[in-house]
Chains A and B, each alone.
Chain A
Amino acid sequence: GEDVEQSLFLSVREGDSSVINCTYTDSSSTYLYWYKQEPGAGLQLLTYIFSNMDMKQDQRLTVLLNKKDKHLSLRIADTQTGDSAIYFCAEIDGGYNKLIFGAGTRLAVHP
């Protein structure tokens, strides 16, 4: 079945770049998503990328997609303390009827 894997924890210094990685298994996924979850809150859609793209940039966020390796990454430039949260990678399953989420990467930003 489909599976999405992420490392569980990342710590960066304020002002540095953060790179959160994700691997997925469903090669038919047409869209891949990044969500952000702040403590005690729901998930907020950050960005998404269509499978015919290699890269998408949106202000401080850059998404890279390597379809051959089924690898997705989210780069946050100039990371701030407000970026501290859990970041989830998600793919659409082949039947388009649900999102498959990774376990989430907890990003900690320290001074």
Chain B
Amino acid sequence: DGGITQSPKYLFRKEGQNVTLSCEQNLNHDAMYWYRQDPGQGLRLIYYSQIVNDFQKGDIAEGYSVSREKKESFPLTVTSAQKNPTAFYLCASSIDFSADRLDQPQHFGDGTRLSIL
């Protein structure tokens, strides 16, 4: 079955450490996204990528980095510069960004919960 796989499900970060969250999709989607979810708040966009080797900052990109070397993969690195990284991180993908495809919006993975040790 096609879908989005996020790993690990739980992750712990030590002070000053960078950690990388994995996101893989086999839906042949061009666009991929990373969101952060905090309790009582909606999802906030961290980074998104419309196509391989290209990505753009979202609303809260500071302290995060991404790469998009392959269509299937969009890893997110939470750097030591992110002072409040504890959150639930969700990866999503969609066919593309075209206005013609808005009836087929984003599909989500099951998330990674990141905590501070």
A96 touches B58 (CB 8 A): no
Stretch of B13-21, B37-45, B64-72, B74-82 that contacts chain A: B37-45
Known: A30-B99, A41-B111. A88 touches B43 (CB 8 A): yes
Residues of B within 8 Å of A40, CB to CB, are: 110-111, 113
Looking at chain A's contact residues, the main secondary structure is strand
Q: Which residue of A30, A43, A96, A101 contacts B97 across the interface (Cβ within 8 Å)?
A: A96
A4 touches B42 (CB 8 A): yes
A88 touches B58 (CB 8 A): no
- Chain A interface: which size bin? 20 to 34
B108 touches A43 (CB 8 A): yes
CA distance A40 to B9 in the complex (A): 9
Complex: chain A residue closest to B56, CB-CB: A97
Complex: chain A residue closest to B31, CB-CB: A97
B8 at interface by CB-CB < 8 Å:
no
CA distance A15 to B71 in the complex (A): 45
Complex: chain A residue closest to B101, CB-CB: A96
A97 touches B102 (CB 8 A): no
Known: A31-B103, A44-B108, A99-B106. A88 touches B42 (CB 8 A): yes
B110 touches A96 (CB 8 A): no
CA distance A98 to B59 in the complex (A): 10
A82 at interface by CB-CB < 8 Å:
no
B42 touches A103 (CB 8 A): yes
Q: Which residue of A8, A35, A92 contacts B102 across the interface (Cβ within 8 Å)?
A: A92
Which residues does B use to contact A, with CB under 8 Å? Answer: 4, 6, 33, 40-43, 45, 48, 50, 56, 58, 90, 92, 97-99, 102-103, 105-111, 113
